[in-house]
Amino acid sequence: MKTSTVCMGLLAALSLPSAQAANVEIRALFQPDSSQPGKNVFVNKTPSSGYCGSYPAECAANNIFSIQLPVHFDGRQEIRAGDSISLKAPANWRQLTVTNKDTQETEIVEVRIIGIGSDFMLSHSVIELTGETVERTAHQKLWTSSSWVNTPAPCLYSGVGVFTKTSYRFFWKTPVEAACTKVAAFTIPHMSFNTLDFAYELRTPNPLGMSSGLYDGSLTYTLGPGGDFDLGPVFNPDDSSLTLDFVLDVQHTLKVDLPAGGNTVSLEPEGGWRSWIDSGRKPTRLYRDQLFYISASTRFKVHMFCGNDGYADCMVRDPVSQRAAAVQLSISLPNGLMGADGQPVKRTYLRSGVVNALRITPSAYVDRKPGTLHFDMSQSYIDYIVQPGMGGSYSGAITVVWDSET
C-alpha cells in the first residue's frame, strides 16, 4: 500500500527538441496533511521561472506563478507608427485526460492560461526612436497608450515593468481569451520577443476519489500567428508548439492502530460473569466493543477471514468438548468514511471472505479518528454453550484486513 496526502506539487522540467516543439512538465502532489485535514486539494510544486521567478512577491500578491520558455518571436518587418501589436493567450478552460500508470484509471484535468509576458527587444535605443532623453518617458512615448506596464483591456496589470534603453520586460494577466493590443506611436525598424512567460491555473479531480500513484497526460498548444499563443502576425516563433506534460502524484494514507492489548478480545456479559457464577442467571448477551484509530484519505475495502469458519461468521471452539459458537462482527467508522450506499458506517455487519468486503469511500480526510469493532454472540449460541455443569474455554481467530487496493 502506498501512503500519501492532496495537496499537489509541481515540478517544471524543460526540453526543447529539434522537432520545433517546447515541452514543460507540470507536477502536482496530493498528500493528506494532519494539520489541515479539510484541505483535500493538489498542491502546485512546479518552481516558478521567468516573471514570477524574478518577482515572487508580486506573483504571491496576485496568487499566480509563471514558467518561462526560451522561445524567441522574431519580427518579420518594421513596425510603423500606427501599427498595432496584439497578444492573445489561451485563457479558456481546456480538458485533458490523465491516466494512472499502474491501474490505468483515468481522470479529467482542466487548465487555462491566466497570464502572458516576455522581454521585448528593440533594434534601436528607445531614446533614439522617440527623441526623449529619459528612458522611462521614452518608453511611455513609444506607444500611444503609454508603456507596456499600462495594460490594454481586456488584459490586466500584474505589478512590474522593467526596462533598459533597448528592452522592456512585462507580464499581463489574461482573464479572457481575447487580444490585448498596443499601438506604436513611432516607427521601430525591428522588434522581437526574447522569451515566452506564461501563468496557468488548474482544476484537478478530487484526490480522495483517486487511487495512489502517478497520473500523467499531455495538452498541446500552438505558437505563432493564428495560434493559441499569438503575438500578432508580424512575429514568428522559433518553436511551433508547446506541450504541457502533467503528472499528478497521489500519495494516500491508510493506517489503522489498535490500543495496547487490543488484538486480544474477551467476550463477556454486561457487568461480567458474577451473576452466572453466583446465581446461575444466564447472560442475555456476550460481546466486546474494541476501539481502534484510523487515518484514511483513500478508498479502501474491509474484509475478514476466520481461523474457524462458519457460514458467514467466524467460530470459537472449545478444544475439549469440540462445541463451537459463532461470533458476529460489525464495524463502526468515524464520520467522513462512507459505505457503498453513501451512508455513514455504523454497526455494519461484516461477513467472512474477500467477496463480502465492505467498500469505503472518504468524503474527507480522516486523521486518527476512533472507530469500533463490535463482537457479538447471538442468544441461541449463548444458550448452547452456557449451561450448568458444562464449562469450557472457547477461542478462535478473526483477522480484519484493510485493503487500499480498490
> Average pLDDT in the 141-155 region?
96
**How many CB atoms within 10 Å of residue 166?**
16
Residue 68, pLDDT > 60, answer yes
Dist. CA 165–CA 154, nearest whole Å = 28
Q: Give percent of the chain with pLDDT exceeding 90.
A: 77
- Domain positions in the chain are 13-250, 254-403
Question: pTM (2 decimals)?
Answer: 0.81
pLDDT of residue 20: 58
pLDDT of residue 63: 74
Q: pLDDT digit string (tens) for 30-43?
A: 999 888 888 888 99
206 and 30 in contact (C-beta within 8 Å)?
A: no
pLDDT of residue 377: 96
Give the SS3 label for residue 137.
helix
154 and 172 in contact (C-beta within 8 Å)?
A: no
Dist. CA 126–CA 136, nearest whole Å = 9
Q: List helix spans (H) across 147-255.
A: none
Element spanning 135, H or E: helix 135-141
Q: pLDDT digit string (tens) for 380-405?
A: 999 999 988 888 899 999 999 999 86
pLDDT of residue 222: 97
pLDDT of residue 405: 65
Dist. CA 163–CA 184, nearest whole Å = 17
Q: pLDDT digit string (tens) for 86-118?
A: 999 999 999 999 999 999 999 999 999 999 999
Q: pLDDT digit string (tens) for 350-374?
A: 999 999 999 999 998 999 999 999 9
β-sheet bridge partners, residue 63: none
Q: List helix spans (H) across 232-317.
A: 274-279
Dist. CA 92–CA 90, nearest whole Å = 6
| AA letter at 25 | E
Copy the grid coordinates of residue 174. 489574461
CA triplet 131, 135, 136: central angle to 5 degrees? 115
pLDDT level of residue 57 (50, 70, 90 thresholds): confident
Residue 310, pLDDT > 80, answer no
267 vs 53, 315, 371, CA distance in Å?
64, 13, 18
Query: Among candidates 198, 184, 54, 196, which has minimal Cα distance to 129?
Result: 184
Q: pLDDT digit string (tens) for 111-132?
A: 999 999 999 999 999 999 999 9
Q: How many helices (H) and strands (E) does the chain have?
A: 6, 27
| Those residues with Cβ within 8 angstroms of residue 204's Cβ, 6 or more apart along the chain or in another chain | 8, 28, 41, 42, 109, 248
For 29-61, give one letter per residue: b (16+ CB within 10 A) or e: bbbbbeeebeebbbbbbbebbbbbebbeeebee
Query: Among candidates 88, 94, 45, 47, which has minimal Cα distance to 220?
Result: 94
CATH superfamily of 254-403: CFA/I fimbrial subunit E, pilin domain (2.60.40.2040)
pLDDT of residue 133: 95
219 and 244 in contact (C-beta within 8 Å)?
A: yes
The mean pLDDT value of the chain amounts to 90
270 and 276 in contact (C-beta within 8 Å)?
A: no
Hey, which bits of 184-323 come out as E strands? 191-193, 196-203, 213-222, 235-237, 241-250, 254-257, 286-296, 300-306, 314-317
